Structure 1
Amino acid sequence: MRMIAGGCLCGACRYSTDAASLNVRVCHCHRCQKATGAAFYARVMVPLAGLAIDGPVGWLGSDSGIRRGFCKGCGTTLFSERQSAGTIGLSMGSLDRPELFEPTEHIWTSSKQAWLVLNDGRPQHPEGLPA
């Protein structure tokens, strides 16, 4: 098993885990677009237990049950935590080695930016994952 590690732009926040990734997805929902300031949120999901976080992380809760973590110094989006499921998403842009991960599917494509063409052959779900 490989170590997953990353951090923010200014270097004040770092995280790491020895856990294997649970999934790698790209979310196109409006909440993720707003939270990241980008057209989508690519993230690596890992178990919350065992994730070591160091530095001045700020947390913003929401009524969706997802808590977002960011560096208080530079504002880098780092995490999307779902405590009820015991999982946390690591922003792929904050990973030290993002090339080690490849998304398997797109979710909430009904909310994707109109100019964004998804032609990578990965499954696309108009909303969340089917039950």
Structure 2
Amino acid sequence: MCGAVRYVVEAEPLNERICHCRSCQKAVGAAFNARLMFRADEVELTGPVKTAFSSPGVKRGFCAECGTTVLSGREAAGVLAVTSGSLDEPALFRPTVHIWVSSKQLWLKLDDGLPQFAEAAPA
């Protein structure tokens, strides 16, 4: 939001998903987390990022200046996901699936035709 944290990724995302799990809901303060996942070594990150573990093995990152959530990742898997709302051009986000819809907010209607999984998507 404030621009203090920046990242550059030249690679194509491994996946682009909308996660409805409670951990994501709490971390981003919204009904879901729309994010793009990359190999961690493909993401060049600069700025004052604070991190915290939100669940076993999942680290979340936010701007130390304004508090905006910008990333999450699994260090053991070598992946890092950036929030679609933090993109300079958020319209580039092209989700392919909804995951953890078992935790989806009851008022949210998913009628975009994307596949839905009760928990994680198959590998």
Smaller-chain TM-score range?
A: over 0.9
2:43 is matched with which residue? 51
1:130 is matched with which residue? 122
The alpha carbon displacement at 1:100 in A equals: 1.6
The alpha carbon displacement at 1:50 in A equals: 2.7
Query: AA paired with 2:20?
Result: H
SS of aligned partner of 1:33? helix
Aligned length: 123
2:6 is matched with which residue? 14
Instruction: Please list every run of 5 or more consecutive structure 2 residues that lacks an aligned counterpart in the other structure.
Output: none
Scaled by the length of structure 2, the TM-score of the pair is 0.95
Instruction: Please list every run of 5 or more consecutive structure 1 residues that lacks an aligned counterpart in the other structure.
Output: 1-8
Consecutive aligned runs of 4 or more in structure 1 exceeding 4 Å deviation: none
Scaled by the length of structure 1, the TM-score of the pair is 0.90
1:3 is matched with which residue? none
Residue pair 2:35, 2:82 contacting (<8 A) in 1 also: yes
Match of residue 116, structure 1, among 91, 105, 108: 108
The alpha carbon displacement at 1:19 in A equals: 1.5
The alpha carbon displacement at 1:25 in A equals: 0.2
Query: AA paired with 1:75?
Result: G
Q: For residues 2 and 13 of structure 2, what CA distance do their matches in structure 1 show? A: 25
Query: AA paired with 1:126?
Result: A
Q: For residues 45 and 61 of structure 1, what CA distance do their matches in structure 2 show? A: 17
- Between the aligned residues of both structures, percent identity stands at 54
